[in-house]
Amino acid sequence: MESGVIPIEDLAGGMHLGYTLESGQSYCWRRRDGAMYEQSDPPASVWYETVVDGEYVAVRQRDGELEWESTTDAVPILRRLLRLDDDLDRIAETFPSDPVVRDAFQAYRGMRLVRDPVFPCLISFICSTQMRVPRIHGMQCRLAETFGPQLEVDGRQINGFPSPGTLAAVSEAELRELNLGYRAPYVRETAAQVRDGLDPAAAGELPYPEARSHLMQFHGVGPKVADCVLLFGLGFTQAVPLDTWIRQAIGTHFPECECGTYEETSAAIRERLGGAYAGYAQTYVFHYLRQRA
DNA sequence: CGCCAGGCTAGCG
DNA sequence: CGCTAGCATGGC
């Protein structure tokens, strides 16, 4: 097992690991203590762990640094997954000066977007429809524990996320037994599409509108889920998923952006939130409103 | 008990 | 195109 630290002072705009991983944007990490996605503020010094490309990665934040343990050098992996190269203050300069956005940024200072591995990201947001955050997380945990590849780390069994082929071979009934509900056939069909060669990562090479259309080919993926995958998995920081929370924020704070259709409202709010990093602003506002509800 | 949750699909007009 | 019923499940 390798280990190391990354000083927070090296990260422009700071870092808050708990907000980053428990704000409902990533379902690819688990707390080592078992608990996760509580409504209250996550405690400090908690270990979070995941499996990426067969490698175990664990990270926690304390005393001004990120401390990590891994079966490999986790620094480049963490840089990518936690977007450690983002300059948060420079990004915030692109935000509009509206009180909601500014208050949200101040309240959750150090929260970064994630860049989840695209397949688990895709499946997790297909599972997210009409569902609360803790239950989405529970579904991803059960998928990994039931069908994912096992890894032994310090005598403990850790499961990675199942491959598209594995998931496509699972019956709908087995998925329903994990309480995926009506999302079960969507998950199975999408896994089969990926297995058969439709690559969600290919969206990353396309311009934003085409990238979203590419993802909407997957069963169970509409415009909102596509925007989530673009934002939280493929680095499209301009994407603004129009969920119930952000729609409420639009109605209250940006009524001029309410244009009727998803496409038009999406374009208006992306412009209103500063363009290139509108999705970053959205993530702060989403978390801010959800925590205050 | 009813209502709603980071919506989507299918099937209508 | 736009509109909507139906969809599983759990927590309040």
Whether the pLDDT of residue A37 is over 80: the answer is no
Whether the pLDDT of residue A291 is over 90: the answer is no
- Residue A278: both structure tokens together: 């509108």
Model confidence over A112-166: pLDDT tens digits? 999 999 999 999 999 999 999 999 999 999 999 999 999 999 999 999 999 999 9
User: Which range has the worst mean pLDDT, A107-111, A245-249, A269-273?
Assistant: A245-249
* Residue A44 pLDDT: 83
Give yes or no for CB of A176 within 7 Å of strand C.
yes
DSSP A41: P
Q: Residue A208 belongs to what H/E stretch? A: helix A208-215
* Residue A77 pLDDT: 98
Nucleotide nearest to A190 (CA to C1'): B8
Q: Distance from CA of residue A172 to its chain's centroid?
A: 25
Per the structure, the residues numbered 175 to 204 in protein chain A that have their CB within 7 angstroms of any atom of strand B are 182, 186
Amino acid at A158: I
Q: How far apart are CA A293 and CA A290, in angstroms?
A: 5
Q: How far apart are CA A62 and CA A52, in angstroms?
A: 23
CB A62 within 8 A of CB A5: no
Give yes or no for CB of A226 within 7 Å of strand B.
yes
DSSP A255: G
Determine the average pLDDT of the residues in A55-62: 97
CA of A287 to C1' of C10 (A): 22
Whether the pLDDT of residue A48 is over 90: the answer is yes
* Residue A243 pLDDT: 94
Q: How far apart are CA A279 and CA A257, in angstroms?
A: 15
CA of A271 to C1' of B10 (A): 33
For nucleotide C10, give the residue with the nearest CA to its C1': A135
* Residue A43 pLDDT: 81
- Residue A60: both structure tokens together: 């926690």
3-state secondary structure at position A88: helix
Give yes or no for CB of A206 within 7 Å of strand C.
no
- At A156, phi and psi to the nearest 5? -105, 150
* Residue A293 pLDDT: 79
* Residue A51 pLDDT: 98
Angle between helix A278-292 and helix A99-107 axes, rounded to 10 deg: 80
Q: How far apart are CA A13 and CA A106, in angstroms?
A: 11
Determine the average pLDDT of the residues in A92-103: 96
Give yes or no for CB of A213 within 7 Å of strand C.
no
In the structure, what pLDDT confidence band is assigned to residue A33 with cuts at 50, 70 and 90? confident
* Residue A215 pLDDT: 98
Model confidence over A183-205: pLDDT tens digits? 999 999 999 999 999 999 999 99
Nucleotide nearest to A172 (CA to C1'): C8
User: Which range has the worst mean pLDDT, A30-44, A114-128, A258-272?
Assistant: A30-44
Give the CA distances from residue A142 to residues A30, A106, A135, A147, in Å, rounded to whole numbers and listed in that order: 12, 35, 10, 8
Determine the average pLDDT of the residues in A83-87: 98
Give yes or no for CB of A241 within 7 Å of strand B.
yes
DSSP A145: H
Task: Provide the positions of strand B that have an atom within 7 A of a protein CB.
Answer: 4-9
Query: Mean pLDDT, chain A, as a whole number?
Result: 96
* Residue A24 pLDDT: 93
Query: At a CB cut-off of 8 Å and minimum separation 6, what does A290 contact?
Result: A24, A245
CA of A99 to C1' of B4 (A): 28
DSSP A11: S
In the structure, what pLDDT confidence band is assigned to residue A292 with cuts at 50, 70 and 90? confident
Give yes or no for CB of A40 within 7 Å of strand C.
no
Q: Residue A68 belongs to what H/E stretch? A: strand A65-70
Radius of gyration, alpha carbons of chain A: 18
In the structure, what pLDDT confidence band is assigned to residue A182 with cuts at 50, 70 and 90? very high
Task: Provide the positions of strand C that have an atom within 7 A of a protein CB.
Answer: 2-3, 7-10
Determine the average pLDDT of the residues in A94-110: 96
* Residue A287 pLDDT: 93
Nucleotide nearest to A132 (CA to C1'): B5
Model confidence over A216-225: pLDDT tens digits? 999 999 999 9
Q: How far apart are CA A225 and CA A271, in angstroms?
A: 20
The residues of A annotated as belonging to the active site are: 224
Nucleotide nearest to A26 (CA to C1'): B6
Residue found by looking up tokens 């994912």 in the block: A148
Q: How far apart are CA A121 and CA A17, in angstroms?
A: 19
Nucleotide nearest to A183 (CA to C1'): C8
* Residue A235 pLDDT: 98
Whether the pLDDT of residue A40 is over 90: the answer is no
- With a pLDDT cut of 90, the percent of chain A lying above it is 94
